[in-house]
């Protein structure tokens, strides 16, 4: 079987730390080209991973590849993805899907018109607790989800590298960088629901203080993105979500939490427990073991390649990723306008 020829657009930390080490070891994949705005860095990466071609622009690689992995700042996700798809290339793009819902819609149109695959790298869906939670939901153990509690909180960990605190290039901070993962996974577990109303507050005061930061230095005086966000989200089936995310929370320790209170039981995703009650007992069931043979990065890469070759459906369809972007956009709008937003 012919190998899938892959090109990388943007070869910063997420490429070299997660994607390239996986894809370059896959027998059915050949990574043939890299491109980065920093051409010297692209040359160094090509040498490190034995990639034959270094391109000056994304367009320079389209004749050589079947698919591309896009790991650029968020501002460039949509235009580069659309260009690649119009050249008939399958796309794996880092999260978030794009900066705006309008851009997401344009990406989905390019996906349909050119009959290609568009996968957004919401890798939390491939984690072991998420896979266990998915099975519990599919088996009907929790019934209909009613209330979902979501927290993605880090204690004083503003990323001091890259462009994470550049609003023009990223479109936001903790929410669009980190909280989006928890939003995606929680809505995936809720099933086919549509958000209808969002009320929120986005803050950026914590990171302006003169306090320690575990993840390097950044410009506190000109800090322009959110570092703490809270939101209440209502869905079309009557369910609701209490959501919170932060890079800089004043808490004892980092916390990732998704719990779903359903009509039959409650599910705690990361603790892998199910809470139930009947007429005379309350019980808590623990998931002791689930067989998952690969880590989340390999599972994500394998799903993309299998989908490109017609052997699987994408685990993160573009429509799901756009739903996350719709909520992100509404959260920022609600906070800016100091009122709830109907979707």
pLDDT in tens, 294-338: 999 999 999 999 999 999 999 999 999 999 999 999 999 999 999
pLDDT in tens, 227-283: 999 999 999 999 999 999 999 999 999 999 999 999 999 999 999 999 999 999 999
CA distances from 203 to 133, 137, 207, 210, 335 (A): 31, 34, 9, 16, 9
Strand partners, 341: 198
Contacts of 234 (CB under 8 A, 6+ apart): 195, 196, 197, 198, 240
DSSP, res 123: G
- What is the set of domains in the chain, with CATH numbers? 4-121 (3.40.50.720), 125-296+324-342 (3.30.360.10)
Q: Which ranges in 6-71 belong to alpha helices (H)?
A: 13-14, 20-23, 39-48
What pLDDT score was predicted for residue 312? 98
pLDDT at 177 over 80: yes
Q: Which two tokens stand for residue 117?
A: 């695959």
pTM: 0.96
């Amino acid at each position: 079987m012919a190998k899938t020829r892959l090109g990388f657009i943007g070869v910063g930390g997420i490429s070299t730390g997660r994607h390239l080490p996986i894809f370059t070891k896959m027998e059915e994949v050949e990574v043939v080209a890299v491109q980065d705005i920093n051409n010297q860095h692209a040359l160094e990466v090509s040498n490190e991973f034995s990639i034959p071609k270094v391109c000056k622009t994304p367009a320079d690689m389209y004749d050589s590849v079947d698919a591309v992995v896009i790991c650029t700042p968020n501002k460039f996700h949509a235009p580069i993805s659309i260009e690649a798809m119009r050249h008939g290339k399958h796309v794996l793009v880092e999260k978030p899907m794009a900066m705006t819902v309008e851009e997401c819609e344009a990406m989905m149109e390019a996906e349909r018109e050119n009959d290609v695959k568009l996968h957004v790298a919401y890798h939390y869906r491939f984690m072991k607790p998420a896979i266990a939670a998915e099975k519990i939901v599919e088996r009907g153990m929790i019934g209909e989800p009613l209330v979902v509690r979501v927290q993605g909180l880090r204690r004083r960990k503003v990323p001091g590298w890259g462009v994470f605190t550049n609003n023009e290039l990223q479109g936001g901070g903790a929410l669009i960088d980190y909280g989006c993962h928890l939003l995606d996974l929680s809505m995936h577990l809720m099933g086919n629901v549509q958000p209808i109303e969002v009320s929120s507050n986005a803050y950026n005061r914590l990171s302006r203080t003169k306090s320690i930061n575990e993840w390097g230095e950044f410009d506190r005086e000109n800090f322009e993105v959110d570092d703490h966000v809270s939101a209440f989200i209502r869905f079309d089936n009557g369910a609701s979500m209490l959501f919170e995310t932060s890079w800089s929370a004043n808490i004892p320790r980092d916390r990732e939490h998704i719990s779903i209170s359903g009509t039959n039981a409650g599910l705690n995703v990361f603790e892998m427990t199910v809470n139930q009650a009947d007429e005379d007992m309350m019980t808590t069931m623990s998931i002791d073991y689930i067989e998952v043979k690969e880590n989340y990065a390999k599972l994500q890469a394998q799903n993309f390649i299998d989908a490109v070759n017609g052997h699987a459906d994408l685990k993160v369809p573009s429509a799901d990723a756009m739903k996350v972007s719709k909520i992100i956009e509404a959260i920022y709008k609600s906070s800016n306008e100091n009122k709830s937003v109907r979707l």
